């Protein structure tokens, strides 16, 4: 079946450095790719998303890139801050217009002060 692989499972960076999280999806019909941030004890919250007709999207210190040919997409966080520490989940829509996601298994990011 369809799946989304996410790497790494844990990532530690020094404050001010960049962090990159990568996801690979299997369903070629997927056309929407959101990223969620989950702080400890909190609910997942959308931080950025990208559609399949766009290769890159940026919002201040975060950006997402999409390579449809290779079926992978990545989250980039620049100038990391301690408040960026959280678990990040990628997701891919399960086919086009199905309104369902398949989530990656999460990356625990630790930003060291």
Partner 1 sequence: DADVTQTPRNRITKTGKRIMLECSQTKGHDRMYWYRQDPGLGLRLIYYSFDVKDINKGEISDGYSVSRQAQAKFSLSLESAIPNQTALYFCATSDLGTGGMETQYFGPGTRLLVL
x/- binding map, residues 46-65, to partner 1, per CB under 8 A? x--x-x--------------
Buried-state track 58-83, b at ≥16 Cβ within 10 A, e below 16: eeeebbbbbebeebbbbbbbeebeee
Report the residue number, 14 or 43, with the smaller CB distance to partner 1. Answer: 43
Q: Which stretch binds partner 1 (CB under 8 A): 12-20, 44-52, 57-65, 68-76?
A: 44-52
State how far the alpha carbon of 74 is from the alpha carbons of 29, 37, 41, 48, 62, in Å: 18, 14, 25, 11, 10
Contacting positions for partner 1 (CB under 8 A): 1, 6, 9, 31-32, 34, 36, 42-46, 49, 51, 89, 93, 97, 99-101, 103-106
């Amino acid at each position: 079946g369809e799946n989304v692989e996410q790497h790494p499972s844990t990532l530690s960076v020094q404050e001010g450095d960049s962090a990159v999280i990568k996801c690979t999806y299997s369903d070629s019909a997927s056309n929407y790719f959101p990223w969620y941030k989950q702080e400890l004890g909190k609910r997942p919250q959308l931080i950025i998303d990208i559609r399949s007709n766009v290769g890159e999207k940026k919002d201040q210190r975060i950006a997402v890139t999409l390579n449809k040919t290779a079926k992978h997409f990545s989250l980039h966080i620049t100038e990391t801050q301690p408040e960026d520490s959280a678990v990040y989940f990628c997701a891919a829509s399960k086919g086009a217009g199905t309104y369902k996601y398949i989530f990656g298994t999460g990356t625990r990011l630790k930003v060291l002060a």
